[in-house]
A and B are shown apart, each in its own frame.
Chain A
Amino acid sequence: DTEVTQTPKHLVMGMTNKKSLKCEQHMGHRAMYWYKQKAKKPPELMFVYSYEKLSINESVPSRFSPECPNSSLLNLHLHALQPEDSALYLCASSQDPGPYEQYFGPGTRLTVT
């Protein structure tokens, strides 16, 4: 199974809402990632988890809060977002925290109203 799953597929939220994005992989990968992708732009790295610990935070605003409850799950908690945060949020995983192939999920299309 080389699949990374993400839920929900689409999410519309107001600026005062709190919501969470979920990502799951069952490949035994030890590194997991969150990326943000705006239309017609490449993915931009947000966070890296290595062996369930946050190892990289690319200066992401605190209204985005990642969590790694176990080696298979990655969450992204959202609070007080802005309309400019509307984007496709992609989760990825790789076998180890090194230069290895990253497997991407299908993404969550987020719209902030």
Chain B
Amino acid sequence: GESVGLHLPTLSVQEGDNSIINCAYSNSASDYFIWYKQESGKGPQFIIDIRSNMDKRQGQRVTVLLNKTVKHLSLQIAATQPGDSAVYFCAENSNNFNKFYFGSGTKLNVKP
């Protein structure tokens, strides 16, 4: 069953500010990572990915940084908008086929 009182970590930002969402991954052999956005009542939506031979990748208003030394991934969202409010998950691909493990998630709350 569910844990009573379990809350997702929440990041609250003002509209127009930049947001940084962090993720610590567990498997040093993971070589592919994805950031997903999940809005209430919807399935996860792909935002950006990065492979382990890179340490930075940019998309439209988003940047992913990968630090393999400390097994850390971050998602930067520029000029955050109310439509960015959602739960954000990082996912790592283990060295076993196409098996993704998801991080615990961060709720982004954008204040107008």
- Please give the residue numbers on chain A whose beta carbons come within 8 Å of chain B beta carbons, in ascending order: 4, 31, 38-45, 48, 50, 55-56, 84, 90, 92, 94, 96-107
Number of cross-chain contacts by CB at 8 Å: 64
Q: Can you offer 20 A-B residue contacts whose CB atoms are under 8 A?
A: A31-B98, A42-B102, A42-B103, A42-B105, A43-B102, A45-B99, A48-B98, A50-B98, A84-B1, A90-B43, A94-B98, A96-B98, A97-B97, A97-B98, A98-B98, A99-B31, A100-B98, A101-B46, A103-B46, A105-B43
Closest to A4 in B: B43
Compute how far the CA of A48 lies from the CA of B94 in the bound complex, rounded to whole angstroms.
14
Compute how far the CA of A48 lies from the CA of B104 in the bound complex, rounded to whole angstroms.
21
The A-contacting residues of B in range 75-103, CB under 8 angstroms, are 89, 93, 97-103
Contact partner of B44 (CB less than 8 A), chosen from A38, A40, A43, is: A43
Q: Is the interface of B mostly helix, strand, loop or mixed?
A: loop
Q: Chain B 48-78 against A: per-residue CB contact (8 Å), 1 yes, 0 no?
A: 0101000000000000000000000000000
Chain A residues near B2 (CB-CB < 8 A): 38-40
Q: In which size bucket is the chain B interface?
A: 20 to 34
Chain A residues near B102 (CB-CB < 8 A): 42-44
Compute how far the CA of A39 lies from the CA of B2 in the bound complex, rounded to whole angstroms.
8
B41 to chain A, nearest CB (A): 8
Compute how far the CA of A50 lies from the CA of B99 in the bound complex, rounded to whole angstroms.
12
